[in-house]
Amino acid sequence: MVGVKVIGNDAEFQAELSGAGSRLAVVKFTMSGCRPCVRIAPAFNMLSNKYPQVVFLEVDVHVCQATAAANNISATPTFQFFRNKVRVDQYQGADASGLEDKIKQHVENDPGSNEDSDIPKGYVCD
């Protein structure tokens, strides 16, 4: 999926995480009125197009209160990284380059991230 999927309720969040499977899922926790959230939104959208092998989700903490509570969200924007429905990392703040560095770190360390290439899964190119 290319682009950011806006999550409308807690059940939808669980379904999207399940659907991502072993692919990296980056979840932006946001809320209306959050200026840093608004500032980083264009960069988050750009990253979703730059990394099509990654699932990008956006969760409003007021709309999905149970999801926000279950993930211990205390500030926005908070970006959490999931693989196989398990949180593997977190990044807080509105620094787009720092967020991209974190995404790159997870994509580069994933031997299965070459799904769209001709290289068999699990092989490493030098």
Q: Could you tell me the CATH number of the domain that includes residue 76? A: 3.40.30.10
Q: What is the DSSP letter of 120?
A: P
Mean pLDDT estimate for the chain: 90
Catalytic residue among 25, 26, 27, 37: 37
117 found inside a domain? no
Domain contains 113? no
Would you call 117 helix, strand, or coil by DSSP? coil
Count how many domains the chain has.
1
pTM for this structure? 0.86
Domain-embedded: residue 90: yes
The verdict on whether 64 is a catalytic residue reads no
Please tell me which residue in 25, 34, 40, 103 is annotated as part of the active site. Answer: 34
Residue 27 in domain = yes
Enclosing H/E stretch for 60: strand 55-60
For the cut 90, the answer to whether the pLDDT of residue 13 exceeds it is yes
Task: Identify whether 37 is a catalytic site residue.
Answer: yes
Does 113 score more than 90 pLDDT? no
State the pLDDT at residue 90: 98
Q: Which residues constitute the domain of residue 72? A: 4-108
From 96, 71, 78, 98, select the one nearest 30 (Cα to Cα).
78
Q: How far apart, in whole angstroms, are the C-alpha atoms of residue 59 and residue 64?
A: 7
Q: pLDDT confidence of 125, banded at 50, 70, 90?
A: low
What is the band of 12 on the pLDDT scale with cuts at 50, 70, 90?
very high
Q: Residue 119: pLDDT band by 50, 70, 90 thresholds?
A: very low
| Residue 125 forms part of a structural domain | no
